[in-house]
Amino acid sequence: MRYKISANVIKRLPRYLRRLTLMERQGVERTSSGDLGERMGLTASQIRQDFNCFGGFGQQGYGYRVCDLKNGISSVLGLERTLTAVVIGAGNLGRALMANFNFAECGFELIAAFDTDPRLVGTELHGTKILDAAALEEYLSSHRVDAAVLTLPKRHAREAALTACRWGVRGIWNFTGIDIDADLGDTVVENVHLSDSLLTMGYYLRGANKEDT
């Protein structure tokens, strides 16, 4: 992290990783900025610029070994170090993430989930225990938790974020739909606003239809 890398570049890294994983699975061993650019709809220039933020993963005259490039990007994203996460709110969405989302692939280990519903407390889903939300603070005080996944009702979101933050949680993956812009210090908040995504799609959809008429 010599210079500050622009957020645009960072946001492209997961996409590179995804594409390279796919290529590796397809048996592609070697690529070039031109080839990769064509596959991903980016210019060769941009790809080389992006990679060179991290020192470059290629070889002049040859290109990039898919495997090395993938490892390089994984390493930039820090995937060799696993962080811990807990789910706060084991409703439909929380359980959907517990059951379907591959935390490990993103460098996280899901170590617990919390909910207030007595029917859920004590059960286990996909290897993760659901604990009583009342025991959250005690849990946070006795375990190192790097990130909290907020999948609880909106109205409790702020409070949960502050609590987590107070007990040393440094990352908040926020699915509640509200913007958490409280004074969380240097805690990293990643807001997942599904409605933004659908609204944006709607804009283009309606625009496209308009042109038809």
Residue 6 as a binder of DNA (CB under 7 A): the answer is yes
In the list 19, 39, 48, 170, the residue contacting DNA (rule: CB under 7 A) is 48
- By CB under 8 A, residue 38 contacts a copy of itself: no
Binding residue count for DNA, defined by CB under 7 A: 26
Q: Are 138 and 161 in contact (CB under 8 A)?
A: no
Choose from a copy of itself, DNA, none: what does 60 bind? Cβ within 5-8 Å by kind: DNA
Contact 152, 160 (CB under 8 A): yes
Within 193-212, which residues bind a copy of itself (CB under 8 A)? 193-210
34 contacts 44 by C-beta, under 8 angstroms? yes
- Closest of 73, 34, 66, 31 to residue 52, by C-alpha: 73
Structure-block tokens of residue 62: 């040859």
Q: Report the nearest approach of a copy of itself to the CB of residue 202 (Å).
A: 5
Rounded distance between C-alpha atoms, residue 176 and residue 74, angstroms: 28
* 64 in contact with DNA (CB under 7 A): yes
Q: Are 30 and 64 in contact (CB under 8 A)?
A: yes
Q: Which of 15, 18, 22, 49 touches DNA (CB under 7 A)?
A: 49
What part of residues 89-128 is at the interface with a copy of itself (CB under 8 A)?
Answer: 91-93, 95-97, 99-103, 105-108
CB of 28 to a copy of itself, least distance (A): 16
List of E strands, the chain: 30-31, 64-65, 83-88, 108-115, 124-125, 128-132, 147-150, 171-174, 188-191
**108 binding partner (options DNA, a copy of itself, none; Cβ < 5 to 8 Å by kind):** a copy of itself
By CB under 7 A, residue 197 contacts DNA: no
How far is residue 124 from each of residues 41, 95, 114, 132, measured CA to CA in Å? 42, 10, 11, 12
User: Dmax of the chain from CA atoms?
Assistant: 63
The reply to whether 200 sits near DNA by the rule CB under 7 A is no
Q: Which residues would be at the binding site for a copy of itself (CB under 8 A)?
A: 1, 10-11, 13-15, 17-19, 41, 76-79, 81, 83, 91-93, 95-97, 99-103, 105-108, 146-147, 170-171, 173, 179, 181, 186, 188, 190, 192-210
